[in-house]
Structure 1
Amino acid sequence: MAQKPKEAAQPPLLSGGNPQIAKGYGDAPVQAWIAAAPGWKGDVGRRLDALIERTVPGVKKAVKWNTPLYGVEEGAWFASFHAFDRYLKVAFFRGAALDPLPPVGSKQKDVRYFHIHKDDPFDEAQLADWIRQASQLPGERM
């Protein structure tokens, strides 16, 4: 009797619906994070990933701390996003240097955030401008 192929196990979801994805470099772990993100968070993650790729051709990617990271050079990151219960938090590691400032401050003086909530439209042109500006600044080594 032929066995049914096993379905790939979905990664566990951490608090806020953030997928638990093993640390890894390149596009594959980022795509695994996006695929595992529940519902609207995965959809927004796909939009963000595509926007970053269009805005910064050749962008470097990784997943660390269950968070997709984006950089111009390996190991130095300009932005990330992370799932929370009610929003996706886009982090700009040198966000205090962006003009205009992303709206949400941080305990870290250089970091600024942009929150994307379910069903809230967001200005892709403004987000692309922040991404472009952030990609031209020194990345955060982590």
Structure 2
Amino acid sequence: MKFDPLISIKLNHSSRVYRPGDILECEYQIDAIEREELKSVEVSTLWYTTGKGDEEESIHFYERRTAKSSHDDSDLRQLAHFSTPLPPSPLSYSGTNLNIVWCVRIRIIVEYSDKGPKEFKHSQPFQLHAH
């Protein structure tokens, strides 16, 4: 039986509260998977809305890494890092009819030898506040 891969995300502010213009720094790592099974890793910082009405989503930062040829030493499972300055808006909001949620999302594509490609995602929410 195969277990799902483990995706770990660590943000530089343990409180997960940021202000506009702050630098969000993130470390992430993929575990419990064989090197050759991991085909790509996508990292994004984004906000999305939930609640009544249409849901929206907007990506602030995006990076994609793919598996290289077999003679390359890159291993997508290893601890990796990115940083990005946070924008002035939209700010995090939690209301009766609308919520604005910021998060770091890691999306991986895995291909097992006996199955086709499969997607796994993990998100780490954080707050963006003016004060």
- TM-score (norm. length: structure 1): 0.27
Report the structure number with the largest CA radius of gyration.
Answer: 2
Greater per-residue strand proportion:
2
TM-score (norm 2): 0.29
